[in-house]
Amino acid sequence: MAVAAPFVFSQRSVYRLSPFFSTTCSSCLGIASFRWNLSRPNKKCFSMAAMRNGIFSSPETAKSFDFASEERIYDWWESQGYFKPTFDRGGDPFVIPMPPPNVTGSLHMGHAMFVTLEDIMIRYFRMKGRATLWLPGTDHAGIATQLVVERMLASEGLNRTDMSREEFINKVWEWKEKYGGTITKQIRRLGASCDWTREHFTLDEQLSRAVIEAFVRLHEKGLIYQGSYMVNWSPNLQTAVSDLEVEYSEEPGTLFYLKYRVAGGSRNDFLTIATTRPETLFGDTAVAVHPEDERYSKYIGRQAIVPLTFGRHVPIIADKYVDKEFGTGVLKISPGHDHNDYHLARKLGLPILNVMNKDGTLNEVAGLYSGLDRFEARKKIWSNLEETGLAVKKEPHASRVPRSQRGGEVIEPLVSKQWFVTMEPLAEKALHALEKGELTILPERFDKIYKHWLTNIKDWCISRQLWWGHRIPVWYIVGKDCEEEYIVARNAEEALAKANERYGKSVEIYQDPDVLDTWFSSSLWPFSTLGWPDLASEDLEKFYPTTVLETGHDILFFWVARMVMMGIEFTGTVPFSYVYLHGLIRDAQGRKMSKTLGNVIDPIDIINEYGTDALRFTLSLGTAGQDLNLSTDRLTSNKAFTNKLWNAGKFILQNLPCERDGSKLVDLLTYKFDTQESLMNLPLPESWVVSELHSLIDSVTSSYEKFFFGDAGREIYDFFWGAFADWYIESSKTRLYHFGSHSDASIAQSVLLYVFENILKLLHPFMPFVTEELWQALPFRKQALIVSQWPQCSLPKNNKSVKRFENLQSLIRAIRNARAEYSVEPAKRISASVVGNAEVLGYVSSEKQVLALLSRLDIQNVHFMESPPDYAKNSVHLVVGDGLETYLPLADMVDVSVETQRLRKRLSKMQAEHDALLARLSSPSFIHKAPEEIVRGVREKVTEAMEKITLTKSRLALLESSIPPSR
């Protein structure tokens, strides 16, 4: 049948008010009364053109978009060189340095988020004509990679310490070559249109040279030094770790209470101290109380005896740092094993004792407990305290336990000799860059966090006790004190030459065994990947500074701020103009995804089930900087959106002239919509939808420019589904199925094509695969969508047409609602009298066919008049607004006698329910004894019931007035 073209109704559209609106039954549409031309062929004209190169399929031949084609489309884009920057259209380049994922990693939702957002930016600005460069790469991830390889070796019965450093490094490189590309392959699955010909790895020769150069220059300026300070220590990995690699969790533990006797006092003179870590008491260098705590004021200035130390004395001091309310109000100060104690000790000049070896066992300072594991020692120490009468009690206590993000073991605060960067002078410049507007952080609320961290910045520990990474470019002199005598050089040859010059030809040197913190090399990423320190680098000249750095807000300090500091230091320029921060992805209940909760979602699984486009669109609709709850409902909805696009493409293709009829296709392209006159000459629905499209282009373009991607996505979604699919496509059927002239059909075809191809352009950055597939199926596609020109802004709008069509929509909605309210059968076509002034009737009557089709009216009995019809009293009267009303004869809509009887029964039941509620409210015991919210709820139900009764009575009165009096 001619009307068998697929309908593209939405489950969320106004059609859900009455299920009959989605029927495709010919008789239900009243084809005879509409005089449809039934000869429209079900042709397949464009499918072969779309499939010639074997890359694309067409909606005319495929029932739905096939997710399996995504990789095929991606490979085609890359093979055509579309991911590379081109200066064909001029303009400033748009550059994003990709946050390099760990080479050990596999795709998780955080990766999916940053890839989606960055690819949206790149695809948008590519279509805007700017030379776009998205620099991909991976991070060597020192700790994570070494841990993975050590575990692999352990499974083979091998240990890192059983082989030479060079042998181990070779094993790591072998692992990297075999498994290190997993993450980049998965990033491709997400549609990342980055320039893979410029892919980098942080241990590449060029980037390694940049790291060494940065270290040497910072040291020459006196900004790198060696010293012993407190760090986060991983006993299992035996290396310092950054704050970012320490995760705190609330865990059940024990609070131990023990006695510290006061030297020179009686048996009753002692201080009871509460601690969670009694094994550190051997490192105590003071006991502290609050200066205003009257319980202990008499002991301030005296000495306390540290238990189990054979009488070692420490001073009893007063400091406001002590919390009087925690435990007993007395604090043991162990500067070598607590960050806060360490800073207090440095302020007060207290000595620092370390009681722990780097493997987590106690050292010789612990005396008899030397060699015991820290947790084993804790149990034995407490047992001995009980034996000596120094144990008071122990009780359960939850505390924040620091654990290694990589290995999971408890981290130890430990004083260790490390290399540090002096941060204050670097931070000052990074602060000024934000204040002077050279750097913009989105969203702006993170400005305060950025400023606070840089204002209170601490020196950065950059050394790690690992074998995998950038070896620290420092050489020591055999036989000399390594803290006093060392050489910083760019390579071993340069180091030896300097040593020979300083100490003579017979000198021997050896390199520092430590490597640099991974964050040190990644802080150079925006410019090291472009060729720095080679200032003659063509890429550095063209693409630096970059444009946007997009990443998670959780690494604003650890990476973003450090890149700003290093960029200014080494290039004199802020490395990017904008920082765009996204939030975390949580599960549907708002919980952080974790293996413990079992709520981790694999993006590849999502892609296989819902498609990449649905995943990307779901992730993109969040707000910058805010966490996003990911649910299967959202994914399902956006998969349906993909299908909706596909079906719209199918409808349009099936209603265009056949490819063989080239002249008619060419004629469609002669219609232009870029002048006010062209819009004025269009019929009402066409003028409305084109005007709304032009408004959408302006609004969406503005949102893209402001990085308001969630707003842009929602605007496109609402327009496509609400305006184009639910309204214009349905309206166009009155033209396409030859009710009117061929000219009307031609205009409708041209508008359908024009609007749809612009929707594909606007949506492409979000949903690249389905939009490219649909684009290729349309006629006369001379270039790929990925490199097509962005729609022109500031195109004309016919505001009068917009207002008029909105009035027509209101009329249609009102009739639909009335049909649903009166339960009119879906197949039944009813009469209507539309009343309004001459102007309104003029444009409404001109779209009589649209009104009849979308409202299910009998077109032969739709009348337009300036005064109410004779049957007004026996009609449903709908006031639409703007001088527009309609009257629907009751006899057409319902069986009056049957409906009257039904409403009488319903009214009786409603009245009984209302009276029962009133009876409850009239009972004093209920009013005085029931909770206030219950009483309030009953009163609200009474009000609602009364409103329903009044409405039902009005409807019943209307029906009864239409029943002819019995004789």
The rounded average pLDDT for each run of 10 residues, N- to C-terminus, in the chain (967 residues) is: 31 30 33 36 46 76 91 96 89 94 89 96 97 97 91 91 93 92 94 97 97 98 93 89 83 95 92 95 96 93 95 94 89 93 91 93 95 96 95 93 86 92 97 97 94 93 95 93 87 95 92 96 97 93 97 90 97 97 86 73 92 96 84 93 96 85 78 93 96 98 96 97 96 83 87 97 98 94 94 97 96 94 88 94 95 94 93 87 88 74 82 88 85 88 87 76 59
**256: helix, strand or coil:** strand
Half-sphere exposure (Cβ direction) of 164: Cα atoms closer than 13 Å: 3
Its sign, for the CA torsion 754, 770, 737, 733, is negative
101 Cα distance to chain centroid? 16
For residues 610 and 635, the answer to whether their CB atoms sit within 8 Å is yes
Q: Give start and end residues of each alpha helix (H) in 192-252.
A: 205-220
Cβ contacts of 536 within 8 Å, gap of 6 or more: none
Nearest to 463 by CA among 235, 159, 170, 228: 228
Question: Could you give the CA distance from residue 497 to residue 871 in angstroms, rounded to a whole number?
Answer: 109
Q: Supply angle C-alpha 447, 448, 449, rounded to 5.
A: 95
C-alpha torsion angle, residues 868, 870, 874, 878 (rounded to 10): -10
814, amino acid identity? A
The Cβ of residue 596 has, within 10 Å, a number of other Cβ atoms equal to: 8
Residue the block writes with tokens 């402001």: 706
Write down the pLDDT at residue 81: 96
- Each as own residue / partner, the long-range contacts of residues 947-950 (CB below 8 Å, 24 or more positions apart, any chain) are 948/910, 949/907, 949/910, 949/911, 949/914
Question: Could you give the CA distance from residue 375 to residue 631 in angstroms, rounded to a whole number?
Answer: 42
Residue the block writes with tokens 């605007």: 715
**614: helix, strand or coil:** helix
The Cβ of residue 485 has, within 10 Å, a number of other Cβ atoms equal to: 13
Write down the pLDDT at residue 952: 79
Question: Could you give the CA distance from residue 127 to residue 786 in angstroms, rounded to a whole number?
Answer: 7
Question: Could you give the CA distance from residue 654 to residue 595 in angstroms, rounded to a whole number?
Answer: 49
Residue the block writes with tokens 């981790």: 600
Write down the pLDDT at residue 77: 97
Burial degree of 742 (CB within 10 A; 0-12, 13-18, 19+): exposed
Question: Could you give the CA distance from residue 780 to residue 664 in angstroms, rounded to a whole number?
Answer: 13
Q: Report in angstroms the alpha-carbon separations of 962 from 170, 175, 817, 965.
A: 94, 86, 21, 9
Nearest to 944 by CA among 921, 916, 914, 923: 914
Which tokens in the block code for residue 391? Answer: 């144990």
571, amino acid identity? T
For residues 334 and 281, the answer to whether their CB atoms sit within 8 Å is yes
Nearest to 306 by CA among 290, 323, 324, 286: 286
For residues 468 and 169, the answer to whether their CB atoms sit within 8 Å is yes
Write down the pLDDT at residue 111: 92
b/e per residue 325-354 (b: at least 16 CB within 10 A)? eebbbbbbbbbbbbeebbebbeebebebbb
For residues 227 and 270, the answer to whether their CB atoms sit within 8 Å is no
656 phi/psi in degrees, rounded to 5: -95, 160
- Each as own residue / partner, the long-range contacts of residues 82-87 (CB below 8 Å, 24 or more positions apart, any chain) are 82/126, 82/193, 82/784, 82/786, 82/787, 83/134, 83/193, 83/194, 83/195, 83/196, 84/195, 84/197, 85/131, 85/132, 85/133, 85/195, 85/543, 86/131, 87/131
Cβ contacts of 348 within 8 Å, gap of 6 or more: 286, 317, 319
Write down the pLDDT at residue 623: 81
Question: Could you give the CA distance from residue 417 to residue 903 in angstroms, rounded to a whole number?
Answer: 88
Write down the pLDDT at residue 765: 98
Write down the pLDDT at residue 9: 31
C-alpha torsion angle, residues 161, 182, 118, 717 (rounded to 10): -140
Q: Supply angle C-alpha 915, 919, 922, rounded to 5.
A: 135
Write down the pLDDT at residue 660: 64
Q: Report in angstroms the alpha-carbon separations of 93 from 85, 145, 532, 537.
A: 8, 35, 18, 16
Residue the block writes with tokens 């913190």: 517
Cβ contacts of 568 within 8 Å, gap of 6 or more: 426, 429, 430, 433, 574, 575
